[in-house]
Structure formats: C-alpha cells, structure tokens
C-alpha cells in the first residue's frame, strides 16, 4: 500500500510533494494577479479573447441559467456568459483571493456586479451543494489543480442533471513541427515577458511548463467520461494550442 505522505506531483518541470502544489500555485497567482489580464493579452497577442468567445459560441448561454466558473480568476468567462444571457447569474470560484479582487473591480466597471458572486474555494472540494448549477466552466484552471480527477468529480456533483461542463485549456498540437515552433516561442519568450511586465519570471516559467504536463485532448476527454459525464466531445482551436471539452450530466 502506498503512503499518502510520499505522493508527489509536478509543479511545472519540478517534482514536488502533492500536499505542496496547491500552496505553490496559490503563490503564482497571488503574485501575478494585478498584471494577469494585461499579461494574457500580451502572451497570446489578444487571441485568448477569441478562444473565450468561441467557448461561449459552443456553450450558447441561455436566459436565467446559473453558472459556476471554477478557477474563474478575474472573471473573463463569467462576464462573457452574463453578457450573452439576460437574467442569468454566475458564481466565480477561485482559491486565490487576489485574483477575485481584480475581478470584482472589473465587474463594477462592467455593471455586472449584481448578477455575480465571488467565492474563495478549491476546485477539488467545491463549497456548494449537490445539483446546484446549470453550467460549470473552467478556463485555464484545470492544469493547475493537483488532482484533476477530483475537480471533475466535484464539477459533476454540483451540476444539476441535464447540466453541462465546458473547459478551455492548453493542449497538444498534433503536428510535431508546429509543436516544436510553439515550444520555442513559449519557453523562450513568455518568461521574459513575465519578467519585463510583471517582474516575475518564475511564475511565467511555471505557466509554460505546466502546459506541457497537461494530458492531451483524448486523455483529458477520457478523464471527463470517467467522472460520469456523457456525450463528451472536444474541439481544437489554433491547431491544438488550446482545446474546448464539453460533457453533460445526464
């Protein structure tokens, strides 16, 4: 039998005790919170906005729905959802309070604050009742979670029957030459941008490394099915730089 205290996981390229990862990830996002949105635009050349809009196109938010955006950070997904769905409401749940603080400022500016709640909580142990939400999303949060399986089971638990999970996450490019070019860009440029713009090279080094550790499209789809979801499908965007995954609790 294995001893839980010796379990390890990855934190970027480093192997760390499983119990340490959450604190390390929290440190990364606390550190980058105030520059997070501007860095997203810089690193992706603004394309993360196109990916998030495409997520909404597939999700097709409906009036009156209740959304839980897990690892929702500064609120990009919840804002888009609410703008498309009159009378919908959303909860943004994230373990890093500094990210939620930045999001709340934006919600006030966008006049969406009344339809939004901000909750500090862990994707692996969501502080919500069973069968509560119509939609659960997770955008670029899943790869930071220590036990992805637990976060998927929790998403399944809090969704109502008939509810839908949709995730947006970095993925793997099927074409090796493209993957090579993309790796050169991300490993060489993103940590430098992090240093210049956010004065934090290490956090952006971690973010790049964590992308390469994440399961590919098919493996992640299989994990979603194992958590109980049905009709699991995925769509690549930007040739597989990112993928959307969708599954239903039926």
Site string for ligand SAM, 10-29 (x = CB under 6 A): ------------x--x---x
Query: Which position's Cβ is nearest ligand SAM?
Result: 73
Q: Are 249 and 165 in contact (CB under 8 A)?
A: yes
Q: Whole-number minimum distance, CB 177 to ligand SAM, in Å? A: 27
Would the annotation count 122 as a binding residue?
A: yes
> Counting contacts by CB under 6 A, is residue 59 touching ligand SAM?
no
Is residue 85 marked as binding? no
Q: Is 116 exposed, middle or buried (0-12, 13-18, 19+ CB in 10 A)?
A: buried
Q: Is 94 in the site for ligand SAM (CB under 6 A)?
A: yes
Of how many residues is the chain composed?
250
217, 234 Cβ separation under 8 angstroms: yes
Q: CA-CA distance, 124 to 126, in Å (whole number)?
A: 6
Kindly tell me which of 72 and 191 has the beta carbon lying closer to ligand SAM.
72
- Nearest distance, CB of residue 179 and ligand SAM, angstroms: 21
Least distance to ligand SAM, CB of residue 18, Å: 12
Compare residues 148 and 177 and give the one whose CB is closer to ligand SAM. Answer: 148
- Considering only residues 109-148, where is the footprint of ligand SAM by CB under 6 A? 122-124, 139-141, 144-145
Contact 97, 29 (CB under 8 A): no
CB of 123 to ligand SAM, least distance (A): 4
Residues 233 and 225: beta-carbon distance below 8 Å: no
DSSP state of 142: G
């Amino acid at each position: 039998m294995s001893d839980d205290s010796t379990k390890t996981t990855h934190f970027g390229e480093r192997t760390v005790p499983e119990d340490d990862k959450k604190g390390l990830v929290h440190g990364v996002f606390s550190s980058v919170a105030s520059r997070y949105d501007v860095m997203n635009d810089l690193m992706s050349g603004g394309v993360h906005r196109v990916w998030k809009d495409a997520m909404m196109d597939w999700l097709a938010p409906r009036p009156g729905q209740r959304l839980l955006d897990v690892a929702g950070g500064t609120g990009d997904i919840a804002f888009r959802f609410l703008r498309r769905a009159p009378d919908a409401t959303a909860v943004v749940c994230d373990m890093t309070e500094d990210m939620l603080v930045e999001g709340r400022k934006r919600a006030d500016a966008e006049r969406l604050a009344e339809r939004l709640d901000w909750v500090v909580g862990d994707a692996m142990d969501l502080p919500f009742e069973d069968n509560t939400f119509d939609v659960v999303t997770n955008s670029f949060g899943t790869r930071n979670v220590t036990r992805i399986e637990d976060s998927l089971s929790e998403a399944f638990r809090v969704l109502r029957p008939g509810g839908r999970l949709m995730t947006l996450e970095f993925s793997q490019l099927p074409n090796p030459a493209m993957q090579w070019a993309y790796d050169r860009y991300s490993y060489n440029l993103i940590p430098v941008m992090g240093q210049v713009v956010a004065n934090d090279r290490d956090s952006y080094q971690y973010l790049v490394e964590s992308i390469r550790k994440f399961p590919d499209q098919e493996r992640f789809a299989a994990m979603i099915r194992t958590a109980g979801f049905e009709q699991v499908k995925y769509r690549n965007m930007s040739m597989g730089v990112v993928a959307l995954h969708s599954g239903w609790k039926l």
